[in-house]
Amino acid sequence: MDTESALPHSFSETILLVDDDAIFRGFCHATLQHLGYTVCVASDGAEGLNILERERGRIRLVILDLLLPGISGREMYDRIREIDSDIRVIIASGLDFDAARDIFDGLDLSWYIMKPFSIHSLSRAVRNALDSRSAP
C-alpha cells in the first residue's frame, strides 16, 4: 500500500499554526500544505490572535504550542475559546505532562499531540479534530 495515499488529506480547510520554533513551523507548514490544507503561520501568540481575527470564519483548526513568547499558548487557548468556541485546537507540545501539570491544568486535551511526532501522527490528529462533531 502506498503510505502517501493512506495519509488523511484536506477537504479545503484552513489551519492556523502557532509555534515559536522555526524548524517545527516549517515541517508542519510543508506537511499540511502537501496534504491540501491552507495554512496560516504565526511565531507567537499575538501574531496568532491577529491572524485569527483577520481570518475569522475561515480558520477551522489551530495547532498551538503552549510555550510561546509574549502571549502564552495557554492565554491564546482561552482567547480562541472566547473568539469562536467551535474552532478546534490541537495542543502540540514537547512538555512532559507530569512535570508541567500547572500549564495543562484546565485545558481540554482531547486533541493533544506530543512533540516530536511523525507526518502520519500529524495528519491523523488534524483529520480527527476536524472531523469531530463538536469542539471540546
Cα–Cα dist 103/118, whole Å: 24
Q: What topology is assigned to 3-131 in CATH?
A: Rossmann fold (3.40.50)
Cis ω on the peptide bond leading into residue 116 (within 30° of 0)? yes
Domain boundary assignment for the chain: 3-131
Predicted local distance difference test score (pLDDT) of residue 135: 54
| pLDDT bracket for residue 112 (50, 70, 90) | confident
pTM recorded for the entire structure: 0.87
Residue 2 pLDDT: 44
Measured in degrees and rounded to the nearest 5, phi and psi for residue 57 equal 95, -20
pLDDT in tens, 30-76: 999 999 999 999 999 999 999 999 999 999 999 999 889 999 888 99
Nearest to 105 by CA among 133, 135, 134, 78: 78
Identify the H or E element spanning 101.
helix 101-104
Amino acid 97: pLDDT: 65
Condensed to tens digits (0 to 9), the pLDDT of residues 76-91 reads 999 999 999 899 999 8
